[in-house]
Amino acid sequence: MIKVLIADPHIIVHKGIKAVFRNSTEISIVDKVTNEQDLYAYLEEKPVDIVIMELDFFDIDGLSILKKIKNQYPAVRVLIFSSQPEQVYAISSLKAGASAYLNKSAPTSYLRDAILKISSGGVYITNQLAQSIAFDETTGNPRRLFKKLSMREIEVLKLLSSGKRNKDIAFELGINEKTVSTYRSRIMKKLKVRNMVELIRKAQSMHIHTY
- Angle of the 151-161 helix axis to the 62-72 helix axis, nearest 10: 150
Cβ-Cβ contacts under 8 Å for 88 (sequence gap 6 or more): 143, 146, 206, 207, 208
Question: What are the pLDDT digits (tens) for 43-58?
Answer: 999 999 999 999 877 5
Minimum mean pLDDT range among 66-75, 137-146, 161-170: 137-146
Instruction: Give one DSSP letter per residue of 29-85, joined into a string.
Output: EEEEE-SHHHHHHHHHHS--SEEEE-SEETTEEHHHHHHHHHHH-TT-EEEEEESS-
Q: Is the dihedral of CA 198, 199, 202, 203 positive or negative?
A: negative
Predicted pLDDT of residue 118: 95
pLDDT digits (tens, 9 = 90+) for 89-112: 787 788 888 999 999 988 999 999
The candidate with the shortest Cα–Cα distance to 207, out of 66, 55, 99, is 55
Question: Taking the domain 2-133, which CATH number applies?
Answer: 3.40.50.2300
In the predicted structure, residue 201 carries a pLDDT above the cut 90:
no
CB 70 within 8 A of CB 40: no
> Domain-by-domain residue ranges, the chain?
2-133, 143-205
Question: What CATH code would you report for 143-205?
Answer: 1.10.10.10
